Structure formats: structure tokens, C-alpha cells
Amino acid sequence: MNESIDNSRRGFLTRFRQPVKQVQQSEITPRSVARPPQAVDEALFERLCDGCGDCLKACPNSVIELGDQLAQLNLDYNECSLCGECVKACPTDALHTAMTIDINLRPHFTQNCNNYLQMECQQCASACPQNAISIQADKLPHLNHELCNGCGQCRASCYASAIVMQLYNHPR
């Protein structure tokens, strides 16, 4: 029992800082499918989402569907407008306003891209509300992953079907 405990104010606060640091540095659970905007961490989402379908009914763009009784995003036929209606409709807080408005999808540009095939095109860059796509002549478009929110407007605008949305688990 020779442990010396620093009872000063600084010592007291320092003892409580360590658990907070551990929480901040905890690993994000990677997603296996795209979730609606403002979804909580995947492990928590899987426990909270009860598959009620309220978010699906509230989505004006019809891009939310149920897979394995959990809400997931499908941008194959439309883009997400990030309107927040799904978040408002969620009774379990699996979608929560405290989470960042980001979809864990990012566009992948294929070699069918007109710009890459030396036919000038800037459809995807023009459609991107975040200005996350830049175009250089005769090259595939360049994506700024930090600016992109995964909404899929670039994909919807591409008449050459040269954009595939892929899962993007944010590095911490």
C-alpha cells in the first residue's frame, strides 16, 4: 500500500483523461454494406436498427432498402440527396443527427470514362455538390476523398456508366 496518489487537481483530472483518450482512439467497426447517412458505428447500428422500414418509407429518393433486416443504401438507380428524412424517421437512433453526414461510399472511375477515352467530359465534376472531383485531359477523374460525402450524384450524372460506387471505410 505504498502507492502514492496525487490528490492535486491536476492529478485527479489526469486519472480520468486516460479512459476518454481510449474511447477517442477506439477502432471504428468497418462496414460491409453502405448504410444511410448519419448511421452510427456499424457494431452499434447492427444492435439498434430493428428493420422497421421507417427510414425506407421516409426516403424521397427511394435509395434505402432492407438487407438482412437492416437498413442499407442502394445507389444503383438514384442518388442520395442527404435530406435527413431517414434520420428524422428512425425511432431507434441507429441514424442519428450527431453523426457526420457522410455515406461510406466513394466513386470509382472505370476505363469507360469518356474523359479517359479522350472525349472531353466533365459531367461527374459538374454534378458533384462537394466539388470533390477534378478533371484532367485524357485521364480518369481524380477524387478528393476528404471532400466527397458519397451521395452518388456523380454516378447518376454519368451517361457512360463509368462510375461504380464502392465501400470506403474512413481511416482514423
- Whether 99 and 111 map to the same domain: the answer is no
- Whether 37 and 81 map to the same domain: the answer is yes
Q: What is the DSSP letter of 60?
A: T
Owner of C-alpha cell 470514362: 113
**Mean pLDDT over residues 77-87, rounded?**
96
Q: Helix, strand, coil shares of the chain as percentages rounded to 5?
A: 25, 15, 60
- Whether 89 and 125 map to the same domain: the answer is no
Give the strand pairing for 133-134 and 105-109.
Answer: unpaired
How many CB atoms neighbour CB 69 within 10 A? 10
Whether 18 is covered by a domain: the verdict is: no
Number of structural domains in the chain: 2
Spatial distance between the Cα atoms of 140 and 127, rounded to a whole number of angstroms = 16
Whether 137 is covered by a domain: the verdict is: yes
Q: pLDDT per residue over 101-111, tens digit each?
A: 989 899 999 99
| Whether the predicted pLDDT of 72 surpasses 70 | yes
- Whether 91 and 66 map to the same domain: the answer is yes
- Whether 99 and 118 map to the same domain: the answer is no
- Whether 91 and 44 map to the same domain: the answer is yes
How many CB atoms neighbour CB 35 within 10 A? 27
- Whether 113 and 66 map to the same domain: the answer is no
What's the full length of the chain, in residues? 172
- Whether 69 and 93 map to the same domain: the answer is yes
Look at residue 30 in the predicted model and tell me its pLDDT: 84
| Whether the predicted pLDDT of 80 surpasses 60 | yes
Element (H, E) at 143: strand 142-143
- Whether 32 and 91 map to the same domain: the answer is yes
Whether 53 is covered by a domain: the verdict is: yes
- Whether 153 and 118 map to the same domain: the answer is yes
Note down the domain range covering 152: 105-167
- Transcribe 76-105 into DSSP letters: SS------SHHHHH-SSSSB-TTS-S--SE
Whether 10 is covered by a domain: the verdict is: no
- In sequence order, the 6+-apart residues with CB closer than 8 A to the CB of 117 are 111
- Whether 55 and 119 map to the same domain: the answer is no
Lowest-confidence region among 28-37, 103-112, 123-132: 28-37
Contact predicate 101/82, CB 8 Å: yes
Please identify, among 103, 132, 157, the residue that sits at the C-terminal boundary of a domain. 103
Q: pLDDT per residue over 39-71, tens digit each?
A: 999 999 999 999 999 999 999 999 999 999 999
Rg (CA), the chain: 21
| Whether the predicted pLDDT of 134 surpasses 80 | yes
- Domain with residue 131: its CATH number is 3.30.70.3270
More confident residue, 13 or 158: 158
Q: Read off the pLDDT band of 28 (50, 70, 90).
A: confident
| Whether the predicted pLDDT of 35 surpasses 80 | yes
| Whether the predicted pLDDT of 23 surpasses 50 | no
Percent of the chain with pLDDT over 70: 83
- Domain with residue 89: its CATH number is 3.30.70.20
Look at residue 29 in the predicted model and tell me its pLDDT: 82
What does the mean pLDDT of the chain come to? 88
Contact predicate 143/106, CB 8 Å: yes
Spatial distance between the Cα atoms of 155 and 147, rounded to a whole number of angstroms = 16
Please identify, among 53, 87, 103, the residue that sits at the C-terminal boundary of a domain. 103
Partnered with residue 105 across adjacent β-strands are 167
